[in-house]
Chain A
Amino acid sequence: MKPAPPSRIAFGVPCPWLIAAASIAFACAGTGEADETRPPFRYVGSATCSAGGCHGGAGSKEPRGSEFSIWTQQDVHARAFSRLLDEPSKRIAQRLGFDAAHEAERCLKCHSPQISSREMAARHRLATRPMTTRKGMVCTEGVNCEQCHGPAEEWLEPHKETTRWKSTSMADRESLGFRDTRSLVTRAKLCADCHVGSAESGRAVDHDLIAAGHPRLRFEFNSYLANMPAHWTPRADWHPELSRGSDGFVARETSTWAVGQLVAAAHGEKLIASRSPIDFAHFDCHACHHELRAPSWRLEFRLPSARSGTPTLGSWYASQRSLLESVIDVRRTMEVGALSRADVLLLMNGLAVEGAQLSARTWEATSQVYLAMDAVTRDLRRNQEQLDPTSRVAASETADALESIRKRLEFPGSPVPLDSPQDFDVNRVKEIHEQFERIRQAWSATTAAKGR
């Protein structure tokens, strides 16, 4: 961490965590970014993918062959650039003093990451014509195929030879600029570059941007993937991290969640360290942003240890790391193999205790515990036959309780999902707590818990 953190802020980065984060960073090196010794791979544009016989099919049953069509028709990534031309974006740009959102590098870095200057346009040989603006050229495709799968200059031709490409090792493919998006770590990192922000590439939705009207980023890998229109068939054995599982228990969502937590937190840490004083986007929004009320449930629930009036840091990206660490050997899991049934059950028991003790009763911390439990519970229910009867009952009880928690975490009937949890008050906190308590009791009654 570059600047010394202010002493009043609870920073506490446990060492094993850093090691885990570093190992992930290491695992990612060379998979996505071009290596320094050669010029960066060039983009060719998504038009080259769109042929009907390649990825532009109209398949309704299975995504294979229709990847481009799904992306262009259903995926909001395809509209990332045109977003910058609409009214809300214009107003955001105006408040920030930008001439236009679709010409501002700050915006284009995520909304149209490929081309944002004439020089770059000249370097690339896009099949689709980039749009010329007053300040240069931009790619109007938004976040397109190559943004995740890698610039296709070198691998476009080889990958058309299907049989040979299939037998090409991933390392060889990566040497051509292709990215292994089946790897959860690589994938999470790609998402996090924009959806969390990246200090290296200068992508950040900071407090200025949020105050100008940009939605706050709240990335959670597993639920984001679940909500994205999949242009792939989600098969657990695709992910190298999962295919190595030995006990036949497929913890797809739990692993996705865990990888997402680690990668997002690593990105978050770097962003935090990149600015001094810390940018306010890294605090819990609702630590400050709540109407002043009397009586105040916040006063009632204050932690004895927390210093009054000091905003809490990183409650979105860092809330689960210590739990993850204490329950499973993160490093081993990510490097060696999938989470086992025992890992997942251990994690669930840990979450059940954490939920009931949930000390910082903020909307953000509560939502993170909810998302974690949701991922784990889905895996448990999917692998029901492998559970002992007591755990099966507990998993079903948890699913019920989570449904009830979700309703209480949702923002008040707003059609625009940007409002704050205005009625996240003492009553909701108490009701949510009751449900978490119900989950804790359900798991404390299981044989696994008793056997420990």
Chain B
Amino acid sequence: MRGGPHAPAAWIAICIAALCVVSAWPPQARAAPPFERLGVESCQGCHQQPSELYSEKRTTEFVSLTESAVWSRDDKHAQAYRLLETDLGQRICKALQIDLQDGTSSQQCLSCHADWRKEAPKPKPFDLKQGVTCEACHGVASNWANPTLHQQAEWRVLKPADKFTKHGMIDIRDPVTRARVCNSCHIGDREQGKFITHEMYAAGHPPLPPIEPETFADQMPRHWRSLIEKPDFEHRAVYEQVNGFRASDHVRSRGVMLGGVEALRSSMRLLAEEVATGKGPWPDFAVFDCTACHHELTSKSWRLERGYGGHPPGRPPMPAWSAVLVPLAIRHAAGDDAEFTKSHAEFRAKLKAVHAAIARRPFGDAQLIPEAANELLTLLDTVEQAALAKPVDTDAARRSLAMLANAATENHYDFDSSRQLAWAARVLAIDAGLVLPEKLPLTQPAIEQLISAAKDRRRIVDEVFAASKIDEALRLRLPARRCDSIPGTLPALLRAQSEFDPKWFRLTLRDTWLKVTVK
């Protein structure tokens, strides 16, 4: 159902935007077959250290040319394969009887840990060991890096959609595409053979945290600059135009909204696919909410107190966190509050239908789940396209932040949902205090001023978050640095999860919001 009476003009705008956008979206960011992986070495030639030649050509104004160095030195993605060789990795392999050298059994690990996707040729041993490499996110490069097409300044003026369909380069700046690329591992994608089964978790694989792409990107060692941070470069005007750039857009808040929709999309796809294709007596436990079962039994239970949304108790639901940010995009897509109320109700009804299909019997009704999930996916597509068409200005960021704070007071959120809300709230709170200029200042001092204002705002928000103890209670800081061991942070994370008190969070998030609100 594509409900809601829109003004004809808005409809046309949405349709045009949708057309551009749809063609720009790789369905699952998968490169077409003729393109081949070149391997890390081919990128390192240029992206390790800028040579004088590139400085002279002013290429470095567009791209730092240190990306590969940052990645290999600081980024955990470069360690992904090596994790499999650690004690924990070996123990998991042993429990699951996986031989890393073996072609078939190891693919369930290597699909994420070394970008060896289902039905794709196995990367060369050297490339495997590089973990999640450049081409895992940017697309396999045979058609754009060799011959050196992307080194020409003209490459910049190509439409991102063409870069992908004709050459295989993924438009990683597009928030939806990027979320899909991240989610394919960080939530899962069975088409690509990326799926952490319950058996793998039970063998010791650390639980996947919820994913809010802006926060994840923010905590990652950055090998990129936002457009706002770049001085002038050749073909800038055309580049901005073909990439749909708007100076007054808060790209990070936009990323929160669309990332929120994509989180639910990825979860729904995974659930529907597992239900439709699973072979066991019930779908793999991994598509359900871990903590629905994994909690100590206690007579004073907040779960009993909260209730089960009208569904029978004792039937594990899907993870709740993936749906909590969707209303932001719905509100943004809607013209006004009345329209939001209407489309939000429609969303709630469709989500409820999925929950009902899952609760119909323990571990869900295999017929009803895919139907309900597909209905919801269709609605999410519509929301996403409409939300993409509108700029996210400071007012939109403020309104979104207020929505989160109010939503938190009305509901009981579990640990993961609360993390998702808090991560989103932090990004929105930063943007809510920043007014962007109508047109980009391209002089160095003006850029610096803008960056410094953003830094100040970020510091203020971070101080409020730290003082409220939300940071600590929800472990908002991810083990994203090279020196952070994920298994090492698990004891504290899991303790925080079991000690989490939803009531405390309700009060604290609202309190925090009041403190960061800009009058």
- Chain B residues with CB under 8 Å of A291's CB are 294-296, 494, 497-498
* Cβ of A160 under 8 Å from chain B: no
The smallest beta-carbon distance between A193 and chain B, in angstroms, is 23
The answer on a CB contact under 8 Å between B95 and A207 is: no
- Chain A residues with CB under 8 Å of B293's CB are 288-289
State in angstroms the CA–CA spacing of A285 and B314 once bound together. Answer: 12
- Chain A residues with CB under 8 Å of B490's CB are 294
* Cβ of A290 under 8 Å from chain B: yes
User: CB-defined interface of A25-39 with B at 8 Å, one 1/0 digit per residue?
Assistant: 000000000000000
Looking at A75-83, A175-183, A265-273, A415-423, the stretch in contact with chain B turns out to be: A415-423
Given contacts A288-B294, A294-B491, contact A208 B312 (CB under 8 A): yes
Interface residues in B349-374 by Cβ distance below 8 A to A read 362-363
Point out which of B198, B201, B204 has the most chain A C-beta atoms below 10 A from its C-beta: B204
State in angstroms the CA–CA spacing of A34 and B298 once bound together. Answer: 41
Interface residues in A1-52 by Cβ distance below 8 A to B read 6, 8-9
Interface residues in B194-232 by Cβ distance below 8 A to A read 197-204, 206-207
The smallest beta-carbon distance between B358 and chain A, in angstroms, is 14
State in angstroms the CA–CA spacing of A206 and B498 once bound together. Answer: 26
Which residue of the partner chain, among B204, B280, B295, B308, contacts A95 with CB atoms under 8 Å? Answer: B308
- Chain A residues with CB under 8 Å of B314's CB are 206-212, 280
The answer on a CB contact under 8 Å between A289 and B299 is: no
The answer on a CB contact under 8 Å between B299 and A308 is: no
Given contacts A213-B304, A280-B362, contact A308 B96 (CB under 8 A): yes
Interface residues in A248-303 by Cβ distance below 8 A to B read 276-280, 285-286, 288-296, 299, 302
State in angstroms the CA–CA spacing of A280 and B298 once bound together. Answer: 18
Interface residues in B161-219 by Cβ distance below 8 A to A read 197-204, 206-207
User: CB-defined interface of B280-317 with A at 8 Å, one 1/0 digit per residue?
Assistant: 11100100001101111111000010011000111100
The answer on a CB contact under 8 Å between B296 and A419 is: yes
* Cβ of A97 under 8 Å from chain B: yes
- Chain B residues with CB under 8 Å of A310's CB are 199, 202
Which residue of the partner chain, among B91, B290, B299, B487, contacts A419 with CB atoms under 8 Å? Answer: B299
The smallest beta-carbon distance between B386 and chain A, in angstroms, is 37
Which residue of the partner chain, among B91, B290, B295, B362, contacts A207 with CB atoms under 8 Å? Answer: B362
The answer on a CB contact under 8 Å between B297 and A419 is: yes
State in angstroms the CA–CA spacing of A83 and B204 once bound together. Answer: 43
User: CB-defined interface of A296-319 with B at 8 Å, one 1/0 digit per residue?
Assistant: 100100100001111000000000
User: CB-defined interface of B239-252 with A at 8 Å, one 1/0 digit per residue?
Assistant: 00000000000000
Which residue of chain B is the closest to A288 with respect to CB atoms? B293
User: CB-defined interface of A408-452 with B at 8 Å, one 1/0 digit per residue?
Assistant: 000000101011101000000000000000000000000000000
The answer on a CB contact under 8 Å between B198 and A309 is: yes
Chain A: interface secondary structure?
loop
State in angstroms the CA–CA spacing of A307 and B144 once bound together. Answer: 46
Which residue of chain A is the closest to B487 with respect to CB atoms? A294
Given contacts A95-B304, A279-B362, A280-B362, contact A208 B294 (CB under 8 A): no
The answer on a CB contact under 8 Å between A309 and B202 is: yes
- Chain A residues with CB under 8 Å of B204's CB are 296, 299
A to B CB contacts below 8 Å, 9 in the list: A8-B280, A95-B308, A96-B312, A213-B313, A293-B494, A299-B91, A414-B299, A420-B296, A420-B298
Given contacts A95-B304, A277-B363, A294-B490, 11 further A-B contacts (CB under 8 A): A6-B281, A95-B308, A209-B314, A289-B294, A290-B294, A290-B296, A292-B294, A293-B491, A307-B199, A309-B202, A418-B298
State in angstroms the CA–CA spacing of A309 and B207 once bound together. Answer: 13
- Chain B residues with CB under 8 Å of A211's CB are 308, 312-315
State in angstroms the CA–CA spacing of A385 and B497 once bound together. Answer: 56
State in angstroms the CA–CA spacing of A6 and B314 once bound together. Answer: 21
Point out which of B198, B293, B363 has the most chain A C-beta atoms below 10 A from its C-beta: B293
The smallest beta-carbon distance between B366 and chain A, in angstroms, is 11
Point out which of B197, B207, B291, B314 has the most chain A C-beta atoms below 10 A from its C-beta: B314
The smallest beta-carbon distance between A221 and chain B, in angstroms, is 24
Which residue of chain A is the closest to B207 with respect to CB atoms? A292
The answer on a CB contact under 8 Å between A289 and B281 is: no
Which residue of chain A is the closest to B294 with respect to CB atoms? A292
The answer on a CB contact under 8 Å between A292 and B363 is: no
The answer on a CB contact under 8 Å between B362 and A292 is: no
The smallest beta-carbon distance between B488 and chain A, in angstroms, is 9
Q: Which size class do B's interface residues fall under?
A: 35 or more
The smallest beta-carbon distance between B115 and chain A, in angstroms, is 25
The answer on a CB contact under 8 Å between A96 and B201 is: no
State in angstroms the CA–CA spacing of A294 and B201 once bound together. Answer: 12
Q: Which 10 A-B pairs have the closest CB atoms?
A: A211-B314, A309-B202, A211-B313, A294-B490, A420-B297, A6-B281, A288-B293, A291-B498, A309-B199, A308-B202
- Chain B residues with CB under 8 Å of A290's CB are 294-296
Which residue of chain A is the closest to B293 with respect to CB atoms? A288
The answer on a CB contact under 8 Å between B494 and A294 is: yes
- Chain A residues with CB under 8 Å of B206's CB are 294
The answer on a CB contact under 8 Å between B282 and A285 is: no
The answer on a CB contact under 8 Å between A292 and B497 is: yes
State in angstroms the CA–CA spacing of A294 and B198 once bound together. Answer: 17
- Chain A residues with CB under 8 Å of B202's CB are 308-310
State in angstroms the CA–CA spacing of A285 and B293 once bound together. Answer: 9
The smallest beta-carbon distance between B302 and chain A, in angstroms, is 13
Which residue of the partner chain, among B203, B294, B308, B487, contacts A308 with CB atoms under 8 Å? Answer: B203
- Chain B residues with CB under 8 Å of A296's CB are 204
- Chain A residues with CB under 8 Å of B281's CB are 6, 8-9, 276-278
- Chain B residues with CB under 8 Å of A91's CB are 304
User: CB-defined interface of B65-106 with A at 8 Å, one 1/0 digit per residue?
Assistant: 000000000000000000000000001000110000000000
State in angstroms the CA–CA spacing of A210 and B290 once bound together. Answer: 18
The answer on a CB contact under 8 Å between A418 and B295 is: no
Which residue of chain A is the closest to B198 with respect to CB atoms? A309
State in angstroms the CA–CA spacing of A302 and B280 once bound together. Answer: 22
Which residue of chain B is the closest to A415 with respect to CB atoms? B299
The smallest beta-carbon distance between A275 and chain B, in angstroms, is 10
Which residue of the partner chain, among B95, B198, B285, contacts A302 with CB atoms under 8 Å? Answer: B95
State in angstroms the CA–CA spacing of A307 and B203 once bound together. Answer: 9
The smallest beta-carbon distance between B354 and chain A, in angstroms, is 20
- Chain A residues with CB under 8 Å of B304's CB are 91, 95, 212-213
- Chain A residues with CB under 8 Å of B199's CB are 307-310
Interface residues in A379-433 by Cβ distance below 8 A to B read 414, 416, 418-420, 422
The answer on a CB contact under 8 Å between B487 and A277 is: no
Which residue of chain B is the closest to A294 with respect to CB atoms? B490
State in angstroms the CA–CA spacing of A109 and B304 once bound together. Answer: 24
The answer on a CB contact under 8 Å between B299 and A309 is: no
The smallest beta-carbon distance between A290 and chain B, in angstroms, is 6
Interface residues in B307-359 by Cβ distance below 8 A to A read 307-308, 312-315
The answer on a CB contact under 8 Å between B201 and A95 is: no
State in angstroms the CA–CA spacing of A277 and B278 once bound together. Answer: 14
- Chain B residues with CB under 8 Å of A206's CB are 314
Which residue of chain A is the closest to B197 with respect to CB atoms? A309
- Chain A residues with CB under 8 Å of B200's CB are 308-309
The answer on a CB contact under 8 Å between A308 and B95 is: yes
Point out which of B199, B202, B285, B291 has the most chain A C-beta atoms below 10 A from its C-beta: B202
- Chain B residues with CB under 8 Å of A278's CB are 281
- Chain A residues with CB under 8 Å of B297's CB are 285-286, 289, 418-420
State in angstroms the CA–CA spacing of A291 and B495 once bound together. Answer: 9
State in angstroms the CA–CA spacing of A78 and B498 once bound together. Answer: 39
